[in-house]
Amino acid sequence: MEFIVILVFFGLSAGAVAKLKGGSFFLWFLIGFGLPFFGTVAALVMRNERTTPLRDCPACGNVVPVYDQVCTSCGADLAFPEPEDEDDDDEDQAPVAPGQERLF
């Protein structure tokens, strides 16, 4: 019985970490539950989805992810931003430093 409690706590910890990073709590709860300890570690090292590029809504100034097509604050339609250049060479892209990720 104690083993189940431990698994639940691992699931909760993995889910909580994933939720903080913008992931799915339920998905990571299952991962942490099925893979105790490793699930939590995986959640800790996974890509932080909160670092996705952001932009400001031109209508109300709300900050939304670039892939959102509708402003979550005012409901304005948002066109997908044009790429800044047409260079197809993606391999030379410099890593984006934190704080410089806003496209607009």
Integer CA distances (angstroms), 31 to 1, 54, 58, in order? 20, 29, 39
Q: How far is the CB of 65 from Zn ion (least distance, A)?
A: 13
Does residue 44 belong to the site contacting Zn ion (CB under 5 A)?
Answer: no
Contacts of 73 (CB under 8 A, 6+ apart): 57, 60, 62, 64
> Applying CB under 5 A, which part among 17-25, 37-45, 60-68, 92-100 lies near Zn ion?
60-68
Does residue 73 belong to the site contacting Zn ion (CB under 5 A)?
Answer: yes
Q: Footprint of Zn ion on this chain (CB under 5 A)?
A: 57, 59-60, 62, 71, 73-74, 76
